Copies of this chain bind each other. A is one copy, B any other.
């Protein structure tokens, strides 16, 4: 990326975070709906902290922190940086107020701009890019977190305009299956573009012949699973998944509810009648796996997903614009993976246990942030993300 492009990219990504909170009040931005979610204000602060801590602190001459308290307040989980404010207490931070956090953003933006005004070392370039990719990840989290918060409100308020959830390919999962012959293939990032450390190294994987569904499972298809007693028959479920849904009394996706004339779904524009042609989303891994079993199919491995997309993208739709797609792959290091030795090594690697990989992207993923080799990951019980199902089966 040229320096001028980088500067423009920085400006755009940072502006996009502000655009995302534009429909929100300071109150909306402050509250934490559950320990897994963070307040919007915290996302705004933490992404700025990332630039301040990993770039300004080492590369800015005469560095002084904007506010010494922020080093702890906005540290998410980097133990090598020092202490963190407890995750579950992020919502208690009514101070600093939103305006002060916005001032923090402005200040750091100016100082980053000053750094970029001069010659940009390869290291600085890489760190700025990493910071922007990081901010884009938090943009998606900001959307899913605010959606969860609003869903707890019995008024079912709208966030604002629905992110561009278009529906070009509705129903295409019926359209069929893409055949893939498999064999000894390579997956993992290649080329010169940006990638996270967990996407490397590129390596060989042996795949048996398989089919990947052309599109995503729809709300109509998932409603049929419910109708057929899917949540009441243990045979479809992993043992832990069965216990998970029993313990919560879960009998449908997170944001569905039964209305007087059928299913309704809480969305970013409020409570709507369920659009049966849309891909089903906000599913846990357990639900995705149970559905697949009921449908006499299975979830793809991440290698199957990536190889199919690399070789047969033309036969696949709804790859990155609707819902992330749960894979059967536990989140683990690729063969030969080495985490960085410094604090940034904590970015991805320390989460590689008891989480499952999702591939693709969603209606909430920022434009330009998706990648064929991208590995998203969440625990099997997480369902507040835009997470759906693309089926696979043996061929």
Give Cα A30 to B91, complex, Å.
Answer: 10
B153 and A92 contacting across the interface, CB-CB below 8 Å:
yes
Give Cα A77 to B238, complex, Å.
Answer: 12
| Residues of B close to A93: CB separation below 8 A | 153
Residues of A69-115 whose CB lies within 8 A of B: 69, 72-73, 77, 79-80, 85, 89, 91-98
Instruction: Identify A94's interface contact among B149, B351, B394, CB under 8 A.
Output: B149
Residue of chain B at shortest CB distance from A89: B152
Give Cα A79 to B239, complex, Å.
Answer: 10
Q: A354 on the interface (CB 8 Å rule)?
A: yes
Give Cα A126 to B364, complex, Å.
Answer: 52
Q: A130 on the interface (CB 8 Å rule)?
A: no
A358 CB to closest chain B CB (Å) equals 15
| Residues of B close to A335: CB separation below 8 A | 207-208
Q: Encode contact with B along A167-199: 1 for CB under 8 Å, 0 otherwise.
A: 000000000000000001000000000000000
Q: Which of A85, A95, A98 has the most CB of B within 10 A?
A: A95
| Residues of B close to A384: CB separation below 8 A | none
A57 CB to closest chain B CB (Å) equals 19
Instruction: Identify A350's interface contact among B31, B239, B336, B354, CB under 8 A.
Output: B239
Q: A231 on the interface (CB 8 Å rule)?
A: no
Complex copy number for this chain: 4
A238 and B351 contacting across the interface, CB-CB below 8 Å:
yes
Give Cα A335 to B298, complex, Å.
Answer: 11
Residue of chain B at shortest CB distance from A341: B235
Q: Which of A69, A77, A350 has the most CB of B within 10 A?
A: A350
Residues of A232-289 whose CB lies within 8 A of B: 234-235, 237-241, 285-286, 289
B204 and A206 contacting across the interface, CB-CB below 8 Å:
yes
| Residues of B close to A6: CB separation below 8 A | none
Q: A315 on the interface (CB 8 Å rule)?
A: no
Q: A27-B30, A336-B394 are in contact. Are A350 and B238 (CB under 8 A)?
A: yes
Q: Encode contact with B along A33-70: 1 for CB under 8 Å, 0 otherwise.
A: 10000000000000000000000000000000000010
Q: A161 on the interface (CB 8 Å rule)?
A: no
Q: A79-B235, A235-B79 are in contact. Are A336 and B208 (CB under 8 A)?
A: yes
Give Cα A155 to B71, complex, Å.
Answer: 12
Q: Encode contact with B along A129-157: 1 for CB under 8 Å, 0 otherwise.
A: 00000000000000000000110111101
A239 and B31 contacting across the interface, CB-CB below 8 Å:
no
| Extra inter-chain contacts (12) besides given A30-B31, A238-B352, CB under 8 Å | A30-B30, A30-B94, A31-B94, A69-B154, A77-B239, A95-B153, A239-B350, A239-B351, A240-B351, A285-B353, A286-B353, A353-B380
